[in-house]
Amino acid sequence: MSDSHDLPYRPCVGITLIRPGGDVFIGRRRRDAGPEHVDGPYQWQMPQGGIDPGEDPEAAARRELFEETNVPAHALRLLGEVPEWLSYDLPGAVAQQAWKGRYRGQTQRWFAYGFTGPDSLIDVACPGGGTHKPEFAAWRWAPFAELPGLVIPFKRPVYEAVVAAFAGHAGWAERA
């Protein structure tokens, strides 16, 4: 097998869902949600997922959000996008397991959405209208400042960049 640094990144989107009070959706990954699972304090992440071939990244973000949280497009207001791709490498052993060893990590285009619906729209137990396997075992709202400390350490630089890019959107509802 080749060195993982010779492998490409998997194209992906990340979603920062911000409620009117300014906190952000964060989900606790299920144990069976993939090779990135860890025990302890780093089980949380914002929704993210792959971009299908030929798919527009913003359309992929809306699709992934629905597939992971059940939040429909009509309950979203696009607030912003990180203009550059943000990448992270998986640790060697994880890279060999994830995506059949075809990628070294992910390169992500991040989008911020204002959540305009009630919390009752969020359903991580039956996402995608019941058509997708749950990725999260639980969810909660968290302040922007907490996000980098809740994720697995190899994703932390990406989360720090996302927080820096989107923290100014925390008061979006007051400006609407």
Percent of the chain at pLDDT exceeding 90: 70
Average pLDDT, rounded, for the chain: 90
Mean pLDDT value across residues 163-167 = 96
Per-residue pLDDT at 34 exceeds 60: no
Per-residue pLDDT at 159 exceeds 80: yes
pLDDT at residue 46 in the model: 97
Task: Please tell me the total count of domains within the chain.
Answer: 1
The pLDDT confidence band at residue 3, using thresholds 50, 70 and 90, is low
DSSP letter (8 states) at residue 50: E
pLDDT at residue 4 in the model: 65
User: Using CB atoms within 10 A of its CB, is residue 54 exposed (0-12), middle (13-18) or buried (19+)?
Assistant: exposed
Distance CA 60, CA 14 (A): 9
Tens digits of residue pLDDT in 4-17: 678 899 999 999 99
Pairwise pLDDT comparison (138 vs 30), residue with the higher score = 138
Which residue range forms the structural domain that includes residue 104?
4-175
Q: What is the pTM of this model?
A: 0.91
pLDDT at residue 93 in the model: 72
Give the pair of three-digit tokens for residue 138.
Answer: 């639980």
Distance CA 116, CA 118 (A): 7
Q: Are 25 and 139 in contact (CB under 8 A)?
A: yes
pLDDT at residue 128 in the model: 86
- Nearest residue to 51 via CA among 101, 98, 109: 109
Tens digits of residue pLDDT in 84-136: 999 999 887 776 677 777 888 899 999 999 999 999 999 999 998 888 899 99
Q: Between the CA of residue 101 and those of 2, 36, 95, 96, 142, what are the distances in Å?
A: 10, 13, 6, 4, 33
- Nearest residue to 110 via CA among 80, 69, 155: 80
pLDDT at residue 40 in the model: 65
Mean pLDDT value across residues 155-168 = 96
Give alpha helix (H) positions in the chain: 57-69, 92-97, 147-150, 156-166, 172-175
CA angle 19, 26, 139 (to 5 degrees): 95
pLDDT at residue 1 in the model: 45
Distance CA 151, CA 86 (A): 15
CATH code, domain with 111: 3.90.79.10
Give the three-class secondary structure for 79. strand
